[in-house]
Structure formats: C-alpha cells, structure tokens
Structure 1
C-alpha cells in the first residue's frame, strides 16, 4: 500500500526549514512556527521529516552541501585571490543578511549539549574545509597561491577565519576592522 502523496514540495519545505533555523535558531523556534514558515502542517512536518531535531540535522546537512558546492564553484573559476577577497568582504559587510553561518550558529547554540549535532557540525565544517582545500589547490595550480602551502592547513585557516569573522560581525565589530583583518590570511596564501 503506497503512502499518500505529499501535498507540498519537500525540497522547498526543507529550504524553508534551513532559513527558519538559520533565522531563529533551534531552541527559539517553536514547532508550530517552524511548520508555518515551511508552509506545511505540523503533522506533515512530523510525517515527512520526523522530529524537530531530525529536521534540524537534515537542514544543517542541506545548508552545508549548498555552501560547499558554492565554494567548489569558486574553485573552478578564474582569479581566485580576488574571488576569495570578495567572498570574505561579503561576510564582513553582509554576513548573510546578518544571520551569520548556520553551522557556526548551531555550534554556539547546541554544540556543547548534543553529541549527535556536534558530530554533524564537525562533518559539516570538514566538508566546507574540503571544498576550500580544492580552492587552495586550484590557486596553487594557477600560480595565484603559494605552492609550498599545506592545502589542508590553509583550508582550515580559511574556515577558522570565516567562522571568526561571522561571530565578530554578529557581535557588531565595525566592518572597517573586519575588512582589515582579512588581509593577513589573504597575504598568507597569495603567491
């Protein structure tokens, strides 16, 4: 016996869940509000995605995949140093419309208290770091980045820089200070 067909677009509902968790966090987001922001009934949320925690895990994974893919796209482009500067300056000036990073936000909110979420976050940060490693290697091949860099360590430095920028931007550190702070990591990787 087949189940009833979904009356909503699952991918779109998941995308809306990503936005809801990103905007409100986990604890501050009642399930009724989450379902409303997703455009589904509360019963459809549970029947399709499971618990709120299970939905958070799927949403964080979807967010991570999208961010890693965006970084891989940059790695496949030209003028990587300029692309990196633009990427970092966008965080300084915009920080995803002030929401920061869902990985960083979730780590700050739940990382100490939920081992399963912590493992997901570690995997997510590793996925983003792996994407940046591809970017570093591409920059080394093009001659824009130092050839003697350890690409794994350089990628982790970039991820650490980004996480710090996002937290400081949310804390209201002036953009001119953050814009200055990105120059050292860029100088470190530039050929």
Structure 2
C-alpha cells in the first residue's frame, strides 16, 4: 500500500507557519495540536512529515537562520550598505518582528540551558548570522561606507550582540526612543 501524498505545501507550513507558531508561543507552551492547527496540517501529517515537535523546532530554526542570513547576504551584495543596515537596526527597536523578537534569542533563552542539541543549533545559527554580517562589514569597508581600520570580526560580534540585546529589551517593553541611542552609537562606531 503506497503512502498518501502530502496534501499541503511543506515549505509554506515550515517557513511561515511553523516559524510563526514557535515565535508566538515558544516551544514548551506550544501544544502539538495547536502547532498542527497553526501549520494547517493534521497531527498525523505533522508527525509523518516533520517527525517530533523537537525535530520540527530544529528544522524551523535552520530555515529561519537560512532566511535571515540570506537577507543579510543580499544587503552585503547591494551597492549601498549603511542605510540598509541602519534601517534594519531601527526596525528592531521600532517593530522587533512584530514584537516577537528573534527566534534564536527566544529559543536560546527558553531551551539553551537544558537542551544541548538546541543550544548547538542556536550557536551555529548565530555563527551563520555573524558570517553574513561579516560579509556586510567587509563590503562596507571596501566601499568606503564603513571605517577601514575596524576589525570586521570584532565589529560583527559587537553588532550581533547589540542586536540580541536590543531585541530582548524591546520585548521587555523598552520604547524605540529609549533604544535608538544604542543604534546611533553603534552606527557611529561603524560609519566612515
């Protein structure tokens, strides 16, 4: 007897709906039935297609990282770098992904101490984001938009650390006008 074909768009279910579900609820507070409902699939389809809830979380994190790092690499390949970087940082303090924050930061805070596999994946995810931002830093230095004497690896670490902190503070209720000076100080450190 042949297996029934998948009757939903796997990428849509993963990239949009699963990411949104884990972003909104976190991992522990998200019942599998709610996760399946949010994804628009039955529980049996969820298990048959993605495995366990934890396996789905891991795949979701990997997909999230690919999307975020890809977007940063696109900016790094563009002719102008300072304004898109500034816009990205200001969007974090003003919107913070609709108040959800960063899936890597959220998952690390929730599960990082207790789940070695998740912690390793989140660490790798942050490294991929940092690698993409380092490309942006190097491109900005080459174009003259960013200071040439900056250590791109150290600046990237400062950038990602600042972004993670901004996301946490924004989720804690700090207003954009309170966080914007941190963005301006960081940009002043980078800009030529």
Q: Shorter chain as normaliser: what TM range?
A: over 0.9
Q: 37-46 or 75-84: which moved more?
A: 75-84
Q: Which runs of 5+ in 2 are unaligned?
A: none
Where has structure 1 moved over 3 Å in runs of 4 or more? none
**What is aligned with 2:129?**
128
**What is aligned with 2:43?**
42
Normalising by structure 2, report the TM-score.
0.97
Write the deviation string for residues 89-144 of structure 1: whole angstroms up to 9, x where unpaired. Answer: 00010000000000000011001110000000000000000000000011001001
**What is aligned with 1:27?**
28
Alignment partner of 1:6 is 2:6: yes
**What is aligned with 1:178?**
179
Deviation for aligned residue 1:81: 1.3
- Distance, in Å, in 1 between the alignment partners of 2:6 and 2:32 is 19
- Distance, in Å, in 2 between the alignment partners of 1:127 and 1:156 is 12
- Distance, in Å, in 2 between the alignment partners of 1:152 and 1:113 is 29
Write the deviation string for residues 25-69 of structure 1: whole angstroms up to 9, x where unpaired. Answer: 000100000000001100110011000000000001100100001
**What is aligned with 1:145?**
146
**What is aligned with 1:63?**
64
Deviation for aligned residue 1:76: 1.4
SS of residue in 1 equivalent to 2:98: coil
Q: Which runs of 5+ in 1 are unaligned?
A: none
- Distance, in Å, in 2 between the alignment partners of 1:24 and 1:125 is 21
Normalising by structure 1, report the TM-score.
0.97
**What is aligned with 1:87?**
88
